[in-house]
Amino acid sequence: MRSRILIIWCMLVAIASLWGSGCNKSDDSPQRATPLDFPKPAGWPDTRYDFASNPLTKEGFELGRKLFFDGRLSKDGNFPCASCHQPFAAFATFEHDFSHGFNNQFTTRNAPALFNLAWHTEMHHDGGIANLDLQPLAPLTAPNEMAETIPSVLEKLNADPQYQKDFARAFGSPEISTSTLTKALSQFMLMLVSADSKYDRVKNGSDLFNVNEEAGYAIFQQKCSSCHTEPLFTNLAYEKNGLPVNPDLNDLGRMRITGSSQDSLRFKVPSLRNVLKTFPYMHDGRFWNLSDVYTHYNGNGISLSPVERSFLTEFLRTLTDSTFLSDQKFSGGE
Distance CA 271, CA 55 (A): 26
Report in angstroms the alpha-carbon separations of 236 from 25, 233, 255, 286, 300.
Answer: 48, 9, 16, 21, 21
Same domain, 209 and 298: yes
Same domain, 213 and 126: no
Same domain, 136 and 213: no
Q: Please check whether residue 49 lies inside any domain of the structure.
A: no
Distance CA 204, CA 195 (A): 11
Any binding-site annotation on 227? yes
Residue 14: per-residue pLDDT:
43
Same domain, 209 and 186: no
| Count of structural domains within the chain | 2
- Domain edge (last residue) among 193, 208, 232: 193
Instruction: Give residue 139's domain range.
Output: 54-193
Grouping H, G, I as helix, E, B as strand and the rest as coil, residue 101 is: strand
Residue 31: per-residue pLDDT:
74
Residue 325: per-residue pLDDT:
97
Cβ neighbours, 10 Å, residue 165 = 12
**pLDDT tens track, the chain, 334 positions:** 444 444 444 444 443 443 443 444 334 455 789 999 999 999 999 999 999 999 999 999 999 999 999 999 999 999 999 999 999 999 999 999 999 999 999 999 999 999 999 999 999 999 999 999 999 999 999 999 999 999 999 999 999 999 999 999 999 999 999 999 999 999 999 999 999 999 999 999 999 999 999 999 999 999 999 999 999 999 999 999 999 999 999 999 999 999 999 999 999 999 999 999 999 999 999 999 999 999 999 999 999 999 999 999 999 999 999 999 999 999 986 5
Same domain, 88 and 144: yes
Q: Please check whether residue 1 lies inside any domain of the structure.
A: no
Contact in structure between 84 and 74 (CB atoms under 8 Å): no
Q: Please check whether residue 254 lies inside any domain of the structure.
A: yes
* E strand map for the chain: 100-101, 105-106, 238-239, 267-268
- Domain edge (last residue) among 162, 193, 224: 193
Same domain, 178 and 229: no
Helices and strands in the chain, H and E counts = 12, 4
Same domain, 318 and 285: yes
Same domain, 61 and 185: yes
Q: Please check whether residue 32 lies inside any domain of the structure.
A: no
- Domain edge (last residue) among 193, 214, 247: 193
Same domain, 80 and 145: yes
Grouping H, G, I as helix, E, B as strand and the rest as coil, residue 253 is: strand
Any binding-site annotation on 296? no
Q: What is the CATH number of the domain that holds 218?
A: 1.10.760.10
SS3 content of the chain, % helix, strand, coil (to 5): 45, 5, 50
Same domain, 187 and 229: no
Residue 183 half-sphere exposure, CB side, CA atoms within 13 Å?
18
Distance CA 204, CA 122 (A): 29
Residue 32: per-residue pLDDT:
84
Residue 15: per-residue pLDDT:
37
Any binding-site annotation on 23? no
Any binding-site annotation on 10? no
Distance CA 240, CA 259 (A): 16
Same domain, 210 and 186: no
